[in-house]
Structure 1
Amino acid sequence: MAPPDMPPIVNRPLYIYRVAAKWFSFFIFGLGTLFLVVVVFPVLRLWVHPREKFRTHARSFVSRSFRFFTKLMDLLGIVKLVVDDREFFRRLNAKIVVANHPSLLDVVMLISLIPNADCIVRGALSHTIVRGVIRQLYIPNSLDFEDLMAACINSLNQGNTIIFFPEGTRTPRTGEIVLKKGASRLALRSGRGIIPIYIGGNDKYGLGKRDPWTAFNHRDKYRYHIRRGAELLPETYGAMPAPRAVRQLTEDIRNFFLATRNLPDQGD
């Protein structure tokens, strides 16, 4: 059943097409993932050494693959992505990107923009179709805290950009924003800046947490508008005791999310 705040469906044939196109897109995504794991990565491992050089090339290949996937969804008429400054994302190096998490496709959008993206992923995904990608390229959150911090700092030192979703799960439809402090702790410990990102646009019904797979936005294609804020520098918080610095940095990220979601949105 659709949530009470959703408007009625006006064009039912178009709505059914969009649901079918969404399913088709995810089918292509699954096939692409299998192709990466079975064909692309083994070939890269044979020819690209050492392991970190392989990971660099593999992450770049995943980014291009996700870029193709977002263009496919655009061609199918189900997704429109608006980015304020694409070149900025292509140039990112050794930063921590912290974003809100309104939908299932958020990480796909960000990795498609950031060629050297690393990210924290749910350990449970290691048992899904994408496990071959995750195990070789990304950092599972099933590690204990110190091992997780060490893995993130090592990745940053290699020039990668780490993507965090500090809500820990997809944003609820109520819009309530509750952030965990892991990204702030990492920034203060590593000395690397945080780039706050707000993913706006229209309603992502059908891609939200616990939404039915048969659902879609009732009126329009999914529209994403990705905005970035000013870099949050860890030295700004250097005079504070560590616990207070973590709290303040986390609050500054939250304030950016709250302020940006009220701006006029090209994705609407």
Structure 2
Amino acid sequence: MLERLNYVWRLFGTGLAFSMFGIGGIFMTIFVFPAIAFFTRDEETRIRRVRRTIYHAFRGFVYFLRVGGIIDSRFHETEKLKDCRGALIIANHPSLLDTVFLMSRMPDVQCIIKHELWSNPYMGGVMRAAGYIRNDGDAETMLQQCEKALKSGQNILVFPEGTRSVPGQELKFQRGVANIATFFNAPIQLVIIKCEPSTLTKGSPWYEIPPRQARFDITFHEQLDMHGYLRHEPRSLKVRKLTRELEQYYVGKLCNE
């Protein structure tokens, strides 16, 4: 009986959380971000304030999920973020909530976002106000945006898979992260996300919740220094090799931890 009540509450809570998320995005787009823009004329300062607002909103959302008993989350070795400056922060992507969890720990982070979100009625305004990078632009423009962020000391959050993982399928990284890292010698901060039992995976609707509460463990691992990486090899080889090494690292960690 108690298990059934817990399931019903988590189902209701998940629907409530999604509603809050969407309404919150619209509210910030209509009221909060215009107010920030009105009182902040400098573009860089305005974007930093917008991102900090998103950071606080996501922290509150994660807190609601945890305290409400809907989805638990634990963060490990977050002190490694203190050493991150001008770095690529990469993670595997098992769930719809991965971006929210990670950004709830980073008050001013650049992010490469799927272009579909720009036309999303709930989150499109948030993405534009924060000045995030679309993943469908031409390569030169994207590299310029990444260079600007990295040189200013901003970290860039990227999911090397490009989209959420499909449960049971082989992990497959695209070459975007390796291209950026080798082009600018940007350090790579490795993050492992584990979710047990799995929830909000690619292709699953929000109401397909697991029989028990899902728990996310987000662990910040080592940071890779790209200076001197295959120094005398052509960049195309560096990109292929780095992509393969990152794939192998994540497969090993996800299988063995």
TM-score bin (small chain): over 0.9
- What residue in structure 1 maps to residue 44 of structure 2? 52
Match of 1:6 in 2: none
**Is 1:246 aligned to residue 239 of structure 2?**
yes
Residue from 147, 162, 165 that aligns with 1:168? 162
Counterpart code for 2:143: M
Answering whether residue 109 of structure 2 is matched by residue 117 of structure 1, we say yes
Shift in Å, 1:115: 1.2
Amino acid at match of 2:240: R
Q: Which residue of 2 aligns with 1:3?
A: none
The reply on whether 1:136 has 2:166 as its aligned counterpart is no
Query: What residue in structure 1 maps to residue 209 of structure 2?
Result: 216
Bigger CA drift: 65-74 or 234-243?
A: 234-243
Q: What is the CA RMSD across the aligned residues, in angstroms?
A: 1.6
TM-score scaled to structure 2, two decimals? 0.93
Matches of 1:34 and 1:71, distance apart in 2:
20
Select 1:21's aligned residue among 13, 17, 23: 13
* 1:199-220 C-alpha deviation (Å, 9 max, x unpaired): 0131223x011113321112x2
User: What residue identity is the alignment partner of 1:23?
Assistant: G
Given candidates 176, 180, 205, the residue that maps to 1:186 is: 180
Bigger Cα displacement from structure 2, 236-245 vs 181-190: 236-245
1:196 aligned to which of 174, 187, 190: 190
TM-score normalised by the chain length of structure 1: 0.89
Q: C-alpha distance in 1, partners of 2:80/2:224? A: 16
Distance 1:238 1:19 in 2: 52
How far the C-alpha of 1:90 sits from its partner, in A, is: 5.5
Aligned pairs, number:
253
Within 2, Cα distance between the matches of 1:22 and 1:91?
A: 35
| 1:101 aligned residue | 93
Contact 1:237 1:249 in 2 (8 A): no
Shift of 1:84: 1.2
Aligned to 1:35: 27
AA of the residue aligned to 2:86: A
Structure 1 stretches of 4+ moved >6 Å? none
Q: Deviation string for 1:162-197 (max 9, x for gaps)? A: 111111111111141000010110011122111111
Percentage of pairs with the same residue: 27
Deviation at 1:91, TM superposition (A): 5.6
Q: Which amino acid aligns with 1:132?
A: G
Q: Is the 8 A contact 1:100 1:199 kept in 2?
A: yes
**Which sections of structure 2, spanning at least 5 residues, go unmatched?**
none
1:154 and 2:118 aligned: no
Letter in 2 for 1:110: L
